[in-house]
Amino acid sequence: MSEEQPINNKTEPVKNNEIKTPIWLSVSEAAKIGGVQTKTIRRAIQYNNVKYKIISNRYLIDLSTLLTFLQTKTKLKNKLNQFGLGQYVDKWK
C-alpha cells in the first residue's frame, strides 16, 4: 500500500522571476506567434538563443525565451509586431 503525502495548501512566492509552469510551443506554433518562418526558429535553437527541450524527436520552445529572442533584433521585433502576436497587442511595455 502506498502512503499518501499530506496536502500542503501553502503557496510559495515565485523567486527571481522564475516561472513554475512554462508554456512550451512546437516550432510551427512558435513561428506563427513570432510572425517568422520556421527556419528562423530552428536557427535560434541551433545557436541556443531560446530555451528548448526535445520530446519524441520534436523540439519544444519555451514561450518566455522565444519572446525575449524576438525582441533582440529590430527586424524580428517588427515581424513580431506586424505579423505575429504583436498585431493583437495595443502596446508592448
Give the pLDDT score at 91. 67
Helix (H) or strand (E) holding 61: strand 58-62
Residue 67: pLDDT band (50, 70, 90) is very high
Residue ranges of domains in the chain:
24-85
Q: How does pLDDT run across 17-47, given as a tens digit for each residue?
A: 666 788 999 999 999 999 999 999 999 999 9
For the record, the C-alpha cell of 5 comes out as 503525502
- In sign, the C-alpha dihedral spanning 41, 82, 89, 32 is negative
pTM, rounded to two decimals: 0.74
Give the pLDDT score at 87. 86
Q: How does pLDDT run across 69-80, given as a tens digit for each residue?
A: 999 999 999 999
Domain 24-85 class, CATH top level: mainly alpha
3-class SS of residue 72? coil
pLDDT exceeding 90 applies to what percent of the chain?
66
